[in-house]
Amino acid sequence: MRTIEQLAEELGGLAGRTVLVRSDLNVPLDGSTITDDGRVRASVPTVRLLADAGARVVVVAHLGRPKGVPEAKYSLGPVAGRLGELLGRPVGFVTETVGPQAQAAVAAMSDGEVLVLENLRFNPGETARSDEERADFARQLAGMVDAFVSDGFGVVHRAQASVYDVARLLPHAAGDLVRSEVEVMRQLREDPRRPYAVVLGGAKVSDKLGVIESLIAVADRLLIGGGMVFTFLKAQGHEVGTSLLEADQVDTVRGYLGTAAERGVEIVLPTDIVVADAFSADARHEVVAADSIPAGMMGLDIGPDSEKLFADRLADARTVFWNGPMGAFEMEPFASGTRAVAKVLVERTHEGAMTVVGGGDSAAAVREFGYDEDDFGHISTGGGASLEYLEGKELPGLTVLED
């Protein structure tokens, strides 16, 4: 993939050039307040690099899942404001993406200025299934600029107009964020330091079937928590009460357990579970053995003995990849398991292990718990993209950059 430095050489310098940057600014909002600005922070270095080189930087991104029409709650206005604070310079904002107002604002930019355009997904062409509709929107974006930098790792697994089609129309490069993410994920997939331990959580095992199959071929041990663990427990013949269960995946999971055993890959499941009588922070809850979940109770976290077990099985790991919380960490009674895993990863980082937090809820959790970026080897900005990369899938937003 071409670097920004190589792109600058191709263009004869960046000063005076208008560069479209596809960032990932899909942050959680409470009204107009950003509750986790991790992705905005991650976008800053590439934007600053381009602006400092004299480029006119036009930032595009999506937020939420609007249906191709403007929705005030998904406006990037608050994000543009936060980006300006982090950059320490004014950042303009336009309430459209490719219309006359946007075109005029881009044309009026001076060297080193930064402008954020409104949510890409307010335009149906961004995510259209029709190749021509996407290409038409991409042509409108490309028509305002001289070059393209792809810096939103969290969207490179999507063949969308601003990720894939624009790159085909313009001189392009991978931003530093995308390059660093790919470097880390490639090491996890191809050359991890061993022992290599993977911690998987989150709600659904079906979301991670492909990556589980791939990781069984490369990891030394897999530690399973979160809602997905109950499908594993069911595959072992245990009852799971009213816990989240994907009954249609039980046979598949049973097959994974068999494959792991044949290959000598250790599957570590919780020995105890925090159960509750409702999905609520105020629900009555208790700790029970993982193979004795009562009828009418749902599992919402791994238990204290499991925390110790997981810590033990991570203690010698030289590489740890973690994707997905161990429970409903947003509610304090069910946050202990996720907090315990985060603590172990911090300890492993400080002891020289390569630790990777795989984006999504895991990244949100470690920030909520007050950890710094430096407490981990790498915090990915793309949960879905990182999983698909580790699964070995072809990611359109990366392949289009490989020329």
Assess whether 48 carries a catalytic annotation.
no
Q: Which residue has the tokens 């991978």?
A: 174
Cα–Cα–Cα angle for 143, 145, 149, rounded to 5 degrees: 120
- Residue 22 corresponds to which amino acid? R
Asked if 383 and 153 count as a contact pair (C-beta separation under 8 A), the reply is no
Residue 24 in marked binding region: yes
Residue 330 in marked binding region: yes
Catalytic residue among 39, 134, 313, 339: 39
Residue 165 in marked binding region: no
Residue 367 in marked binding region: no
Residue 62 in marked binding region: yes
91-94: strand order across its sheet: 91-94, 114-117, 56-60, 18-22, 147-150, 172-174
Catalytic residue among 84, 99, 112, 384: 384
Question: Among residues 125, 163, 141, which one has the least CA distance to residue 18?
Answer: 141
Catalytic residue among 139, 189, 204, 254: 204
Exposure letters 167-198 (e unless 16+ CB within 10 A, then b): beebbbbbbbbbbbbbebbeebbeebeebbbb
Assess whether 360 carries a catalytic annotation.
yes
CB contact set of 257 (below 8 Å; sequence gap of 6+): 232, 235, 236, 267
Residue 63 in marked binding region: yes
Assess whether 308 carries a catalytic annotation.
no
Question: Among residues 224, 220, 211, 214, which one has the least CA distance to residue 192?
Answer: 220
Catalytic residue among 360, 382, 383, 397: 360
Residue 361 in marked binding region: yes
Residue 193 in marked binding region: no
Residue 158 in marked binding region: yes
Q: Is the peptide bond before 195 cis (omega within 30 degrees of 0)?
A: yes
Residue 65 in marked binding region: yes
Assess whether 384 carries a catalytic annotation.
yes
- Residue 172 corresponds to which amino acid? H
Residue 67 in marked binding region: no
Residue 39 in marked binding region: yes
CB contact set of 251 (below 8 Å; sequence gap of 6+): 235
Question: Among residues 206, 213, 212, 175, which one has the least CA distance to residue 397?
Answer: 175
Residue 313 in marked binding region: no
Q: What residues are annotated to the active site? A: 39, 204, 360, 384
Return binding residues for ATP: 208, 299, 330, 359-362
Return binding residues for (2R)-3-phosphoglycerate: 39, 121, 158
Return binding residues for substrate: 24-26, 39, 62-65, 121, 158
Return binding residues: 24-26, 39, 62-65, 121, 158, 208, 299, 330, 359-362
